[in-house]
Structure 1
Amino acid sequence: MPSITSPSGHFPTLCSCTKLVDGQALYDVKFYPYPTTDDEPIFAVTGSSHLFICRPKLDADPPFEVLRWFQLESGEHSFNSLAWARDPVSGEPLICVAGEKPKQIQIFNVESGKHVRSLVGHGAAINDLAISPISSSLLASASADYTIRLWNLDPAYKDQPCVAIFAGEGHRQHVLTAQFHPNGKWIVTAGLDTAIAVWAVPSIDALAQHRAHRDGSHPAPLTVYYPHFHSTEVHANYIDTAVFYGDLILSRSAKGQSEDLARTTTKVKIVPNEILLWKIDGFDSDDDPPTGPPIPTPSVWTRSSFPHDPRSRGFQRLMTFDLPNTSRFYLRFGLLHEPGVRPILAMGNEESRFLFWDLQKLEEGYDPNEESGANLKAPGVKAPRQRKKGKAAEARQQVNEGNLGRLGELRRGEIVGGGAGSDVGYGRTPDPSLTTPTTSASNVPPERKFDLGDSFMPLKPHHSVLASTTLSPKKHFAMAQIAWSPDGGRWMVGVGDYGMMCVFYRSVEREAGRE
């Protein structure tokens, strides 16, 4: 096991790369988001017919132990997504899993190892699961039936657990991702139709009207027909990941290799695979949803009910992240974004390499006390070349950099504050050094280590790691999902092709108290 020394003090070190199962891909990994009795993180991994519950161990080889292995019938189960929940009565940890088969959400009690229940309703494969940050009983699911469903695991909803369906004027093809805003009031979704949408989550009172009545009748789930934001202009390819970064959005798009090759032979320009950081004009997550969602109009590719200039598209592209060798879709990035912790974006490509971006460094910009290019000397990653710009380009860059220097403000201080009322995650004392001061164009340094003037220029990773394995150099693997532990990101786990699991660790100073 290598010595644990984080490069540049922020990025994790690869501890092990292990084939957890043989011959089957792993698709999802998530850490238990709630406090544990011994304060140690637990994570779950799923893929095909396998479901593992694991604990990372720093002084072990390999640096993890399997606590429970749910061995299911391979012909009847094909899982690709999971989410943690808690039993509303006992508080015991529950693991929710779903996928192509069966077209149901299966829920297991982790402590007893028993199957608890199945949630039936989707008419096709389920592609993503997410638990609400304000209630460990509210579960969202994204499906190939073009809908997103909201489920309540509370016993009061036992006879009718589906409380809301987001459908109608939303997605026209498979929905690949659904994630809550940290305050639980919004859901961002995206899919194969290249559309990305933001929906208002109905209030608890509105959802309560759709539980079983005393007379035994079961009202239909609440149907949400219109998202408050919908666009097919943000990305040109399939969107397999979308998460809130405060009030900004990080989303990734890609298209399969075979389709890229077919498009090449017909001499059609291939749209690059990318992760974008962007914002919806006028969106404030703390505001009540606008009274009227936007109605679809012919030849309008973006519709938004949030205040914006009617001459604009209603959103702004802020950054593009460089993603070499990531042509496949359904490869998901991992975002570390907790109070008091430097935000880090991590992505695995198809050549066994992990790419990292220090998002706080992008907000801080150029540090004259740092050695030039020190963070960019990872294998295979070249530092961007400084170019001499004309006066018009310099003025444009100065304005853009002034805007990007206010990312902390745009994210509404989420680095040092969590969602109100959240019962998820570990409480941490905010680190004053991580606050981002508001910067104006007049005080932006004349040079930056990272060229942020052009939102379409891909930003090279600040650090990368090649996962060395016994696989042939010509037989690399891709990471389907990356997860960070909720204790400040001490651990990072990635899972993917050939049953591979990579475990990373980094030293993090932990505060004495917890909320």
Structure 2
Amino acid sequence: MAPPPGASEWDLPRLRASFIFQDDSKNLNSEDQQAQGEQNTLLTNPQHLTCILTRCIFPEFFDVKFYPYNPPGSPPIFAAASKKHAVVCRLSQTKEREANPCEIIQVIRDDDEDASNCACCWSKDPRTHRPWLCVAGSDAKIKVYDVKDGTLVTVLVGHGGGINDLVTSPADPSIIASASDDTTVRIWSLAAAHTQQPCVCLLGGEGHAWDLLSVAFHNTGRYVLSSGHDQVINMWALPELPKEHVDVPITLHYPHFSTSEVHSGLVDCVAFYGDLILSRACHEDVIVLWRIEGFSSDDPVLSPADAPTTYDTSKQTRSAYTPTLTPERPTHFTRLIQFHTPECGVQFFMRFRMYHAPGKHSILAFANSKSRTFFWDMERFKAYNHFMAALKKSQQLDKKAAPPPIKPAWLPIKRNKKPAMPNNIQREADKDSMVSASPDPEHVGASSSLSKYNAATIAEWAEMYDTSNPLGVVRAHKTLNIDGAFVGRQAGWSADGEWCVVVGNNNRALIYQRNMPPKRVETSTPGV
């Protein structure tokens, strides 16, 4: 779908629709059924509201992933996973779907009594290329479904505890990774050669001491991040995975980088951003961007024998990339930016997602526990620094030598508050302002100088765009609120970066879209 005329890469998403999946009473247990009866009462008795919300009887979406293998220009498709079902939806720009662009195309039910799913990822049949959806949860099984007909293709078994996250290798759609309560990451192959032994690599040993919550692939497919309840973030350099059948999976006992110093709470989301790392911990109200010193994916991949194996409880960080600290490289890792994510409360299992593609603006999305979704545009940090440097330079030099720069349209202006005036004088002043009003200089290409901006404006810019203090926090570039109590669990981006879907409690999905004029927000409850 081509962006509309006038679309800008600087645009951040707007809310297009709020999608509420119809309650699935078929899969409720006896306790849930009792609560379901209370929910029906709620429709006529608002006094039950607090009780119902506290018991969380509504099914909840925990994960969302866009199908990454569609041809460019195709309508994007995403899957949202909850306890007993995965919903597959298509986003469409047709006139028929102008109010609500979301269309359900498949519902996959998991009727296993012990199933309680919380993670999903995409793959495809290596032979026919039909889309496959992998789902997993507390029963420690990964179930692979053919999305077109909703049938179960295979079940991957091997973990000794529940599975909390699934990801697909960007380099190979047949390779997926799972993070489990058994403290290990397993690398699985869906290729026909590995049917008898689909687990081709096991990341365990001295890596983690407690349940894992998050796993992520590097774009090259050769590095894996893992994190969880033990506050530890590990990076593993994968060896070449076998192409043919193997009886026993490759086992890595030690990660090539390990630290518990980035966060002080359980780490429920970790991801690569190029060679940099993004991570979030419960109770901290920040997402941290940081780098491993000495690591570059352009260098040869280290072997398992290169991983640091000496266990020293006094060392909270071990790294194969800076085995010896020097004056030129005095730390194993460096904090870069802390993104402010307020009002998350005691909730955990709340995950961000960065959109990152060559030639596109990278945008970070995260939803908190108070019905707010935050967005940051990484290109704005660079543009802000260039603008401020040019602004200061124009103040110091003759305007002919350094003409004042044009203010970017996304930098807000805070107007000085005027003292209160009697009503009759205020009305006359309002008339004068309407007559003399002119478009903001940012929209007509006028130049700027530092002296024309008040202190409140400069301070607000710094809160949103100044990254000079790695221990400070950067406010969101855009914050969107929705009605109702909503706890965000995961965000997903379409391949072109136009659509962002955020899922969470109450069986709700928020559909955000970039590069579109304001639309009427539609809240719908599609049937199964």
Q: Shift of residue 370 of structure 1?
A: 5.6
Aligned to 1:298: 313
Contact 1:198-1:227 at 8 Å conserved across structures: yes
Residue 106 (str. 1) matches residue 143 (str. 2): yes
Q: Deviations over 1:42-95 (max 9, x none)?
A: 111111101111001234132210000112327332111000001111111100
* Distance of aligned partners of 1:234 and 1:73 in 2 relative to their CA distance in 1, 3 Å threshold: same
Q: Shift of residue 334 of structure 1?
A: 1.7
Contact 2:142-2:157 at 8 Å conserved across structures: yes
Structure number, greater radius of gyration: 2
Aligned to 1:140: 177
Residue 501 (str. 1) matches residue 516 (str. 2): no
TM-score (norm 1): 0.75
Which amino acid in the other structure matches residue 151 of structure 2?
K
Aligned to 2:349: 330
Q: Deviations over 1:224-271 (max 9, x none)?
A: 11100000001111111111111111111114xxxxxxxxxxxxxxxx
Contact 1:493-1:501 at 8 Å conserved across structures: yes
Aligned to 2:500: 492
In 2, Cα distance between equivalents of 1:374 and 1:151:
44
Residue 35 (str. 1) matches residue 53 (str. 2): no
- Following superposition of structure 1 onto structure 2, how do residues 284-323 of structure 1 map, counting pairs within 5 Å? 284-291=296-303, 292-295=306-309, 296-307=311-322, 310=325, 312-323=330-341
In 2, Cα distance between equivalents of 1:189 and 1:313:
21
Contact 2:75-2:92 at 8 Å conserved across structures: no
* Distance of aligned partners of 1:238 and 1:457 in 2 relative to their CA distance in 1, 3 Å threshold: same
- Following superposition of structure 1 onto structure 2, how do residues 61-460 of structure 1 map, counting pairs within 5 Å? 61-73=99-111, 75-100=113-138, 102-204=139-241, 207-208=242-243, 211-212=245-246, 219-255=247-283, 272-291=284-303, 292-295=306-309, 296-307=311-322, 310=325, 312-327=330-345, 328-366=347-385, 367=387, 369=405, 371=407, 374-375=410-411, 449=462, 450-460=465-475
Which amino acid in the other structure matches residue 479 of structure 1?
G
* Distance of aligned partners of 1:64 and 1:370 in 2 relative to their CA distance in 1, 3 Å threshold: farther
In 2, Cα distance between equivalents of 1:179 and 1:156:
24
Contact 1:376-1:462 at 8 Å conserved across structures: no
Q: Shift of residue 221 of structure 1?
A: 1.1
Q: Deviations over 1:74-122 (max 9, x none)?
A: 733211100000111111110000011x210000001122100000000
* Distance of aligned partners of 1:25 and 1:6 in 2 relative to their CA distance in 1, 3 Å threshold: farther
* Distance of aligned partners of 1:130 and 1:302 in 2 relative to their CA distance in 1, 3 Å threshold: same
Structure 1: gaps spanning 5 or more residues: 213-218, 256-271, 384-445, 509-515
Name segments (4+ residues, structure 1) moved above 6 Å.
3-8
SS of the aligned residue for 1:163 comes to strand
Which amino acid in the other structure matches residue 308 of structure 2?
P
Which amino acid in the other structure matches residue 321 of structure 1?
F
SS of the aligned residue for 1:364 comes to helix
* Distance of aligned partners of 1:136 and 1:482 in 2 relative to their CA distance in 1, 3 Å threshold: same
SS of the aligned residue for 1:137 comes to strand
Which amino acid in the other structure matches residue 491 of structure 2?
I
Q: Deviations over 1:339-363 (max 9, x none)?
A: 1111111111111111111111112
SS of the aligned residue for 1:459 comes to coil
In 2, Cα distance between equivalents of 1:465 and 1:490:
16
Q: CA RMSD in A?
A: 2.5
In 1, Cα distance between equivalents of 2:136 and 2:362:
29
Contact 1:81-1:127 at 8 Å conserved across structures: yes
* Distance of aligned partners of 1:372 and 1:220 in 2 relative to their CA distance in 1, 3 Å threshold: closer
Structure 2: gaps spanning 5 or more residues: 24-57, 392-404, 416-457, 517-528
Q: 2:87 is matched with which residue: 44, 52, 62? A: 52
Contact 2:186-2:203 at 8 Å conserved across structures: yes
Q: Shift of residue 452 of structure 1?
A: 1.9
In 2, Cα distance between equivalents of 1:495 and 1:105:
21
In 1, Cα distance between equivalents of 2:232 and 2:72:
41
In 2, Cα distance between equivalents of 1:374 and 1:139:
39
Which amino acid in the other structure matches residue 247 of structure 1?
D
Q: When the two structures are aligned, how many residues end up with a matched partner?
A: 407
Contact 1:6-1:13 at 8 Å conserved across structures: no
Contact 1:375-1:462 at 8 Å conserved across structures: no
Contact 2:10-2:361 at 8 Å conserved across structures: no
In 1, Cα distance between equivalents of 2:9 and 2:67:
28
SS of the aligned residue for 1:458 comes to coil
Q: Shift of residue 286 of structure 1?
A: 2.1
Which amino acid in the other structure matches residue 348 of structure 2?
F
In 2, Cα distance between equivalents of 1:496 and 1:77:
19
TM-score (norm 2): 0.73
SS of the aligned residue for 1:83 comes to strand
* Distance of aligned partners of 1:114 and 1:187 in 2 relative to their CA distance in 1, 3 Å threshold: same
In 2, Cα distance between equivalents of 1:195 and 1:6:
42
In 1, Cα distance between equivalents of 2:302 and 2:186:
22
* Distance of aligned partners of 1:460 and 1:163 in 2 relative to their CA distance in 1, 3 Å threshold: same
Which amino acid in the other structure matches residue 490 of structure 1?
E
Q: Which moved more, 1:125-134 or 1:74-83?
A: 74-83
In 2, Cα distance between equivalents of 1:79 and 1:365:
42
Contact 1:81-1:129 at 8 Å conserved across structures: yes
Which amino acid in the other structure matches residue 101 of structure 2?
P
Q: Shift of residue 330 of structure 1?
A: 0.8
In 2, Cα distance between equivalents of 1:352 and 1:360:
26
In 1, Cα distance between equivalents of 2:173 and 2:312:
37
Q: Shift of residue 8 of structure 1?
A: 8.9
Q: Which moved more, 1:53-62 or 1:90-99?
A: 53-62
When you count helix as a share of all residues, which structure comes out higher?
A: 2
In 1, Cα distance between equivalents of 2:76 and 2:9:
24
Contact 1:21-1:500 at 8 Å conserved across structures: no
Aligned to 1:408: none
Which amino acid in the other structure matches residue 186 of structure 2?
R
Q: Shift of residue 35 of structure 1?
A: 2.3
